[in-house]
């Protein structure tokens, strides 16, 4: 169950590209020194559930719901507006204008409301002439004025898409917005939504706080696991200050089973991915709340060591992810992608533990510490499209 030759060849190609990029002056120095993203961002985004059907009332209600459900206390701080919030035309001075029909109070008033709840407001733009919906202008050529506008409104997070551009490379267009944000007078988290076009994991840490490693996710099992696979290739490049992003969470939108959503949330958590809820939190179910509200799984995502777990073994549809946590702990995720119940064994030499190490195992979804110790390996059974997630704690 070792990595195949093709995967190793891909890694060689990617790091060759990284070496080439390092020769460019842009990538010899870190443009983004905003001190943000020491852990992955957690919050909510409007796109996966609402698409363009957004307005200020819904954004305010979402902020209220994050507080009322207790999600804000678990770290869900960002309330991020996606595409379709602005008028089609800029004003006479070149500024973006919020849609009067859906955001009549303006974005500054909305940011003030969100901040009053102890939360942060995010917004969306595009490194092109128009956004992906083609209903509002992009920021290409207007980076300085848009960055200062966002800062004046009190924006805390910018998702920056890659549609309808001039044909130049993302490695040329994205650093322009980075510089503009650095000169805007406010710390703004910069999310590069570049879809993995030019392997942004190789250069994104010097330009943004997170970078999309994949195309858009859809609310189904195959889409979710394929994004996980594409994202995992870049595991070694995630670090405090900059994170791989396999796209936003679909948990609670109805296209997958509960076990599949648990697996989805678990993979994103151990991958140190941004945990951006994509469902309607105003009408959240008990089952969804139990997933996105799992404190122990969130703690793995937010572990200060900041190391993304890797897929250390895979035998057909049976997979083992593992990674170190602070305090000499190790997180292990066993994933059954097959259509039948299966048993998976995690051996210590695969997950990075010294031989004969004795550990206690904490099951993060059953919320129990198993009543016996483990040495050299850990085995567990799981249903189809399900997972088991453990934190292993060495016994002195």
Residues 6+ away with beta carbon under 8 Å from 340 = 384
Percent helix, strand and coil across the chain, each rounded to 5?
Answer: 35, 25, 45
Torsion angle of C-alpha atoms 120, 281, 193, 182, degrees rounded to 10: 0
CB proximity list for 84: less than 8 A, separation 6 or greater: 51, 52, 54, 99, 131, 133, 135, 136
Return the structure tokens found at 15.
Answer: 């790091």
Token duo for residue 146: 């848009």
Listed in sequence order, the DSSP H helices in the chain are 5-22, 47-50, 56-68, 107-116, 143-153, 170-182, 221-232, 258-270, 286-292, 295-301, 348-351
170 exposed, middle or buried (CB, 10 Å; 0-12, 13-18, 19+)? Answer: buried
Decide if 161 is catalytic. Answer: yes
Q: Which residue has the tokens 């130049």?
A: 168
Structure tokens given for 349: 């030499």
Distance CA 281, CA 218 (A): 18
Q: How many residues does the chain have?
A: 396
Task: Please identify which of the residues 55, 64, 216, 363 carries the catalytic annotation.
Answer: 216
Q: Concatenate the DSSP letters of all residues of 339-372 into one string.
A: SS-EEEEEEHHHHTPPTT-EEEEEETTTTEE-SS
Active site residue 247: no
Taking the CA atoms of the chain, what radius of gyration do you get in angstroms?
21
Tokens representing 25 are 């002056």
Indicate which residue of 161, 245, 280, 303 is catalytic: 161
Quote the tokens at residue 299.
Answer: 């703690």
259 in Cβ contact with 386 (< 8 Å) = yes
Burial status of residue 47 (CB atoms within 10 A of its CB: 0-12, 13-18, 19 or more) = buried
Cβ contact 192:211 at 8 Å: yes
Q: Which amino acids are annotated catalytic? A: 161, 216
């Amino acid at each position: 169950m070792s990595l195949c030759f093709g995967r190793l060849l891909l890694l060689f190609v990617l790091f060759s590209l990284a070496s080439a990029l390092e020769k460019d002056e842009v990538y010899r120095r870190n443009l983004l020194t905003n001190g943000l993203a020491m852990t992955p961002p957690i919050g909510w985004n409007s796109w996966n559930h609402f698409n363009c059907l957004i307005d200020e009332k819904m954004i305010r209600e979402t902020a209220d719901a994050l507080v009322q459900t207790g999600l804000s206390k678990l770290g869900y701080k960002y309330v991020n507006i996606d595409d379709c919030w602005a008028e089609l035309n800029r004003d006479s001075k070149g500024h973006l204008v919020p849609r009067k029909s859906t955001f009549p109070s303006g974005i500054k008033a909305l940011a003030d409301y969100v901040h009053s709840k102890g939360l942060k407001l995010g917004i969306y733009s595009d490194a092109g002439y128009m956004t992906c919906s083609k209903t509002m202008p992009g920021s290409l050529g207007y980076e300085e004025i848009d960055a200062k506008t966002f800062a004046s409104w009190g924006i805390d997070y910018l998702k920056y898409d890659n549609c309808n551009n001039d044909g130049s490379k993302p490695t040329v267009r994205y650093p322009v917005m980075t510089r503009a944000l650095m000169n805007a007078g406010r710390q703004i988290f910069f999310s590069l939504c570049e879809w993995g076009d030019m392997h942004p994991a190789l250069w994104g840490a010097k330009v943004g706080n997170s970078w999309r490693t994949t195309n858009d996710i859809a609310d189904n099992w195959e889409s979710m696991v394929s994004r996980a696979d594409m994202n995992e290739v870049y595991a070694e490049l995630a670090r405090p200050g900059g994170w791989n992003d396999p796209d936003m969470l679909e948990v609670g939108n109805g296209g997958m089973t509960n076990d599949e959503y648990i697996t989805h949330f678990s993979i994103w958590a151990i991958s140190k991915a941004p945990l951006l809820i994509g469902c309607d939190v105003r009408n959240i179910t008990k089952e969804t709340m139990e997933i996105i509200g799992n404190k122990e799984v969130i703690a793995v995502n937010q572990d200060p060591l900041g190391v993304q777990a890797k897929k250390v073994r895979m035998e057909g549809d049976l997979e083992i992810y593992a990674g170190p946590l602070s305090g000499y702990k190790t997180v292990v995720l066993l994933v059954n992608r097959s259509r039948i119940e299966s048993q998976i064994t995690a051996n210590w030499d695969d997950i990075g533990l010294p031989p004969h190490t004795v550990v206690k195992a904490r099951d993060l979804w059953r919320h129990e510490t198993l009543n016996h110790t483990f040495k050299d390996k850990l085995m567990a059974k799981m249903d189809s499209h399900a997972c088991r997630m453990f934190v292993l704690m060495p016994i002195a």
